[in-house]
A and B are shown apart, each in its own frame.
Chain A
Amino acid sequence: MTSLATSTSAAEAVTAEGHEGHADLRLFGLATFLVADGMTFAGFFAAYLTFRAVNPLPEGSTYELELLLPSINTMLLLVSSYTFHRSGRNLLLGQMGPCRAWLLLTAGLGAAFLAGQMVEYFTLPFGLTDNLFASTFYALTGFHGLHVTLGVICILLVWFQTRNGGRVTSAAPFGLEAAELYWHFVDGIWVVLYGILYLL
């Protein structure tokens, strides 16, 4: 049976191109991971909606929230998705200057969102353990805020990597594309979160 392993066949050799000798699957892998991450949020959303449907709040507590600041925050994130998209287009066109500028703007918008979130936390009339809604509110927005924080760090990292001689170029755009996909995902989650937490 040794002939099996050693026989040289004329069968085609898989051409080694892309990552690890096969097509680059990293974005596919990231997308799969984001499905998983989205399911974590889905679990939280389901818990929140069930709490809201069946668990009455104690006397004097309310689901009402100030809308102005979170609405501005929502706009900031939506705009940041657009600026990231612009940055990605510039990268593919090889225009590194505008690409990096749009990246910085995106990171700035993300940081502004986080600052707005902080302001909201400090002005809210309830704390983490006051009632079930308060706990759920902080868990949901906190878990999302953690994602935004990670996103801003990633954007700054990519900004650094797009410098002259960095590893992210128009020929090797993976780092930026991955950060962009992740950022759009975090924005999308926020839109759902805004809808069920603030508007509902």
Chain B
Amino acid sequence: MTVASPNDFQDSLQPQGWLRYFSFSLDHKVIGIQYLVTGFLFYFIGGALAGVIRAELASPISDFVSRETYNEVLTLHGTVMIFLWIVPVVNGGFGNYLIPFYVGARDMAFPRLNAVAFWMIPPAGILLIGSYFITGAAQSGWTAYPPLSLTTPALGQVVWIVSVLLLGGSSIFGGINFIATVLKLRRPGLKLMQLPMYCWAMLGTSILVVLSTPVLAGTLLLLSFDIVAHTGFFNPALGGNVVVYQHLFWFYSHPAVYIMVLPAFGLVSEILPIHSRKPLFGYTTMVYSILAIVVLGLVVWAHHMFTSGTPPWMRLFFTIATSFIAVPTGIKFFNWLATLWGGKLALNSAMLFSCAFIVNFVFGGITGVALAQVPFDIHVHDTYFVVGHFHYIVYGGTVFVIFASIYHWYPKFTGRMLNEDLGRLHFLLTFVGFNLCFAPQHWLGLNGMPRRVAEYDPSFTTLNQISSVGALLMAISSLPFLYNVLVSAFKGQVAGDNPWNALTPEWLTSSPPPVENWIGAAPLVEHPYGYGVDEDALSVEAATGRDLWSGTGRR
């Protein structure tokens, strides 16, 4: 690790002041940070809502909040965490910051569209959160299934729809930008199969966003007609069909799971090789398994609807298709394990969170394969087993990777390192709290505790209390994290340009990078994972004439 000596020429090119983060900036790095910080604000709001849920469920009767409030809190928690935290952060946040570096560009393909996409998020979030205080929030869960969403208070539901439409629009604009950037903005000489894996993950994710999000938008438009104009698309009393809503909703919302986890797969594929000092194992299979997940992810949605009167042929098809997804996903996991195998592992916070991601996600993936089997699914449908499974995927999977990525890229964002001791404390509390919170929910579900209820049978009390203690630990775990990211920005150890001795292009510039990413031409990185191989053969140096290892000694 070296101390970067300040460079006057470079500094003069940096946009000055924190105010730019509140501006309509077109710089992809500023927009990336805007996404990240906004996302984390909503994460803490969504976390507080989860705290209310777990406090209520610490006892079998509804004593902490009323049932209506519980429904509102539950709906807001799901919507905030999915649409305002995970999707914007793993796509918009890291995507905007990293993708232009990875393709060797100075910005995204459409910088203005990019800024517009970000600035659709704060109004949507304020609308959603504000609805709780002003009109009463929606009460029908993040799925907004009719007829429930038609019978709960209409105003809150309509505000919810408007908010989700805004967020969906933002997501589509972002997706268009990523597709154009990855496919069309690559630096001359850089081939598709030389891109860092996160580019492939974002390409796949963006294809899913562009193909599936508009279907949700159309569906919510029809739902709003049902609420406002009293049409009967999804209202059985008026001759409508609720199952059509479920099909259309899950046509988006199942791919949405991949929109949340594929970018995390990409990010972890960047982190593991660097901290194991080994090339990413099985690059080509990784690419094709991402593409396979994109294709399969579009044809498995009805596994959410096995109890919705789906005919046997449909159950059979969707069971088989869903089970198939385990194959490309499994390939990726074996690739990551093989990447770690025999590597020179640095067990820092980024690595701890990444390895925990592998553990958590495998567990969530196995329960996912179990849920794809109709006989099992019918038994646990709409129980806490599903809640446990989902959180192992989305929290144990994606959120762990988000934290790993913060520890990994914070030095690039700010030019300073995070404190490792606090990072490990954060990891320990999160890992223990997370498993304590969500593992018992599988037992609860198997024993028949339904989800989305404020009250339950007293025999479920002990497991629920364990779960609530886990939630409390998770809440406490954010304290060292918050302190770390806030204080390290000013007092952290100076990171230097490339504290991890990484080969991917974002590390081949200063920390934080200048406005147009590089002074001079963008480096051509043909082997982004060339760790441990003969460094003289690495074309980064050959092509750019830069000595990557100067001042740090060879590892």
Q: Which residues of A contact B (CB under 8 A)?
A: 1-14, 20-23, 25-26, 28-29, 32-33, 35-44, 46-47, 50-51, 54-55, 57-58, 128-129, 131-132, 135-136, 139, 143
Contact = CB atoms under 8 A, between A and B. Distances in A.
B211 A135 contact: no
A5 B523 CA distance: 10
A139 to B, nearest CB: 6
Contact of B185 (A25, A26, A43): A25
Contacts, number: 166
A38 B105 CA distance: 30
Q: Which among B239, B240, B545 has the highest number of chain A CB atoms within 10 Å?
A: B239
B256 interface: no
Nearest to B172: A36
Contacts of A46: 247-248
A131 to B, nearest CB: 6
B185 A10 contact: no
B343 to A, nearest CB: 23
Contacts of B547: 3
A38 B210 CA distance: 10
B214 A11 contact: no
Interface stretch (B118-126, B192-200, B222-230, B396-404): B222-230
Interface residues of B, number: 71
A3 B247 CA distance: 56
Contacts of A132: 232-233, 238-241
Contacts of A13: 521
B222 A139 contact: yes
A11 B518 CA distance: 13
A51 B185 CA distance: 43
A15 to B, nearest CB: 9
30 contacts: A1-B497, A4-B548, A7-B544, A7-B545, A9-B521, A9-B546, A11-B521, A11-B543, A11-B545, A14-B187, A14-B188, A22-B109, A23-B184, A29-B109, A29-B180, A36-B213, A36-B214, A37-B214, A39-B210, A39-B214, A40-B214, A44-B218, A47-B222, A47-B248, A51-B233, A51-B240, A129-B238, A132-B232, A132-B239, A139-B231
Contacts of A51: 233, 240-241, 244
A25 B519 contact: no
Contacts of A25: 109-110, 180, 184-185
Interface of B: 2, 4-5, 7, 9-10, 105-107, 109-111, 113, 172, 175-177, 179-180, 184-185, 187-188, 210-215, 217-219, 221-222, 225, 229-233, 238-241, 244, 247-248, 251, 496-498, 508-510, 514, 518-524, 543-548, 550-552
Secondary structure dominating the interface of A: helix
Contact of B241 (A28, A29, A43, A54): A54
A7 B546 contact: yes
